[in-house]
Every structure is written in C-alpha cells, then in structure tokens.
Amino acid sequence: MAVPNNPFLIVNPKSYLYGTESLALAKAADRTAAETGLQIYFTCPYTDIRMIREQTKHIIVCAQSMDSLTPGRGMGRILGESLKAAGAEAVFLNHAENPKTLSELNASILRAKELGLITIVCADSVTEAKAVACMDPDIVLAEPTSLIGTGTTADDSYITETVDALHAINPNVLVMIASGISTADDCYNVIRLGADGTGATSGILNAPSPADRIREMADAICRARARRLSA
C-alpha cells in the first residue's frame, strides 16, 4: 500500500489527456520519479487507471474522485473497490470542478481509508481547509479557486499561514499548495515556505515539453527539500 511522503508532486492532466497521450505523460512522470526518488502522483480518467498502473512502476496512480457507496446499488457512481482493483492507490476528493457536500465528503474519506487509498482533499479557502483537516485526510490541497489555471500563485503569507494553521489543527495532515503553479520556481518557493507538496495542470500541459516540465518541477522540489533539511 502506498504511503504519502513529504515532499511530493502531483501531475494532474484532468481530462485534457486520455488514452495513449495520458499514458505517454505518465511514463515520463514515472521516469522522473525513478530518477529523482520524489513521490509523484499522476491523475487520469477512470478508464485509464488500469492501463497506466500496468505500464508504470514508480508513480502513484490517482483517481479523479470517488463516492462513498459500498458494493451494490449505486448506478453511475464511482465505487472505491473498483478503483482499487484497477490499480489506483490515491483519490482526489472535492475538487472545485467536482465538489461534494460536507457529509458526502466525510463519508468518502472514511471509505477511502477503509480501502487503503490515499486521500487528497481540496478546499477553496483557509476556513474550508481547516474543516477538511478535521476529517483527517492524508493531504489537504488548500487552493483559492480564483487562482486555478491563472498562472498566478498565492502570496507567501497565504502559504505560510495556511500551512501553520492546518498543521496546528492536524499535525499528521500533509498540506499541498498548488493554485497557479506553472514553473519550477513556483514549486521551489512553495516547498521552501513549508508546504508538503505541490502540483499543476496547465503549468505542465502548456509547457513546450510537458515531460521536461515535470522533471524541472521535481528537481526544484528536491532542491527545496534539501534547503529545508540543511536550515
């Protein structure tokens, strides 16, 4: 069973890539994970999970969401057991593009934990992030929705204050800052300021070479980790 580590990078193509294109980028991320030793998550459409898991070794394959149901009725909903059987080791929950009610979110986190799936839970404000941290997910992605896809990152004070606030509530939760992340320098800065991980969508997919951008981001995160350890 995969265990979340600090620091980490999440490569999140959403539904811009699928099939062979999704697999090609996953393989590039897999090579970077092997060469750097950094924990890298790769999200993909549900139908690509098994294909990517069977053709990679080092990335953590991440489903884009799941529901709290158990085997049985639930037509059209996402069953956690089916995700795990396909090879998923982690799951995103409550993304701004697919939000959940608080009750369903809490139930989904509990189901994912029962199945040994790493939970990455999104929150669009510090207040919501604090509430999410009380649900004891593995990772809280604290990202102002207004910054998603803009290329503009949260300011330094938001990063440090958010990390401190969430760790004060739940010292076991890992804090991810990712809104607007588009360059290796952005990755370096958020890890330097205390975040446990980061990730990107457009910052990777819009790069001249998405595979090279993943490697640049991974290298930057590793440098920031080394700086923090030596401080």
Q: Which residues are catalytic, by number?
A: 95, 143
> How is residue 200 written in tokens?
């990107």
Q: Which of 190, 169, 170 is nearest to 179 (CA)?
A: 190
**3-class SS at 56?**
coil
Dihedrals φ, ψ of 118, to 5°? -70, 135
Please tell me the distance from the alpha carbon of residue 214 to that of residue 220, in angstroms, as a whole number.
10
Please tell me the distance from the alpha carbon of residue 9 to that of residue 192, in angstroms, as a whole number.
14
- Asked whether the CA dihedral 185, 191, 194, 199 is positive or negative, the reply is positive
Assign residue 90 a region: left if phi > 0, alpha if psi is -120 to 50, beta otherwise? beta
Please tell me the distance from the alpha carbon of residue 12 to that of residue 62, in angstroms, as a whole number.
9
**3-class SS at 20?**
helix
